[in-house]
Amino acid sequence: MKFRTTSVIISVLLAGCVYVPRTTTVYDKDCDIEAKSMTMDLYQIGQLGSCQGNQCAQVLVGAGAVAAASAVISGSIVVAGNMVYWFEKEGRCIATAVVPPQKPTSPPQRAPSG
């Protein structure tokens, strides 16, 4: 009985919600570069309307399944994306440490002929 009550509460909280990966850009002052990072955002796409009896249970199970599936898929995308962005950031950070950006220099001046 306790498991059923808990699962109903969780399903009600997640009803009509999906997880979506989001990419943000942050400045890393240690490397003096902009780096990307991924997070998961929760969006509500619907509300639990009026339902009765067995129909409510079916709606809750469906909504819970959609929320769980979107969390697994989006979570996998976020983990993989952050790994790629971490390698990209480390490579760019090492590149700026080895070859720091140089200021443009003016061409050497020629002596006037004459």
Residues 64-103: tens digit of each pLDDT: 888 889 999 999 999 999 999 999 999 888 887 776 656 6
pLDDT mean over 39-56: 77
What is the rounded distance in angstroms from the CA atom of residue 108 to the CA atom of residue 5? 80
Domain that holds residue 19: 2-97
* Three state DSSP letters for 62-73: HHHHHHHHHHHH
Asked, for residue 17, whether it belongs to a domain, the answer is yes
Asked, for residue 108, whether it belongs to a domain, the answer is no
Asked, for residue 109, whether it belongs to a domain, the answer is no
Q: Which long-range contacts (CB under 8 A, 24 or more apart) does 65-69 make?
A: 66/18, 67/14, 67/15, 67/17, 67/18, 67/19, 68/14
Q: Token digits for 62? A: 């469906």
What's the whole-model pTM score?
Answer: 0.63
pLDDT mean over 57-66: 79
Nearest to 19 by CA among 80, 61, 75: 75
Secondary structure (3-state) at 31: coil
Asked, for residue 74, whether it belongs to a domain, the answer is yes
Domain total for the chain?
Answer: 1
How many percent of the chain have pLDDT more than 70?
67
pLDDT averaged over the chain? Answer: 78
